[in-house]
A = this chain, B = another copy of it.
């Protein structure tokens, strides 16, 4: 069950391979950290344990991550990279602008459920205790990725404007719209587990809630076609199929 032989031919002769090798190991360390997180919980993730699980020493690990918190931030960066991939796939589905917006929301939802651990990392990484002790470069990475994600959202909104599917009156900027949708998606996905755990709703699936939230918001905006004039339920399912069948991919 140990899938981590070095396996890479470490016959790196020119210094170009050094960086690549280092990055591969970092990826492996992140994978291990994620495993520990899933199996032992957040309190169980210690640097010594990661050291034991890996094949390098603690010093080397601190050569990659300047602190335990930096490791969490690194995991969040990894999360965002995967989200980015999902977003790209989501935008490859065809349809009018509102369908594509829905696809992005689905991608976000999909990530939050298929990778709950990483999604929680994202939450933890936003916490002051973590931010305070993460390296500046890692924080910059995270910021850059977030900006890229938001860029995708803005693209869809611009498409909607071009299609004349929405009209931005009364000083409502593209940034504002993007932010509000981001907030909606973040809240609806992040709060689901806690709410369910406290027995707030019984039968309601997370999917239905997210879809309903998006429809409410986009209807409020007047993004045509309105949910009364279009079957976004089946649109949602079509998107689900399109994204799901692409997910089985690179693992080792």
Contact = CB atoms under 8 A, between A and B. Distances in A.
B212 A191 contact: no
Contacts of A41: 128-129, 132
A89 interface: no
Interface string A139-177: 000010011001000000000000000000000110110
A179 B198 contact: no
A180 B209 contact: yes
Q: Could you say how many copies of this chain the assembly holds?
A: 2
Contact of A201 (B43, B173, B201): B173
A120 B186 CA distance: 16
Contact of A129 (B43, B176, B201): B43
Contacts of A91: none
B220 A143 contact: no
Contacts of A123: 123, 126-127
Nearest to A126: B194
A85 to B, nearest CB: 21
Nearest to A191: B183
A230 interface: no
Nearest to A180: B213
10 contacts: A41-B128, A123-B123, A124-B128, A179-B209, A182-B187, A183-B187, A183-B188, A183-B191, A184-B213, A184-B217
Given A123-B126, A175-B200, A180-B212, 5 more contacts: A43-B129, A43-B132, A126-B194, A147-B200, A187-B188
Interface of A: 41-43, 120, 123-124, 126-129, 132-133, 143, 146-147, 150, 172-173, 175-176, 179-180, 182-188, 190-191, 194-195, 198, 200-201, 204, 209, 212-213, 215-221
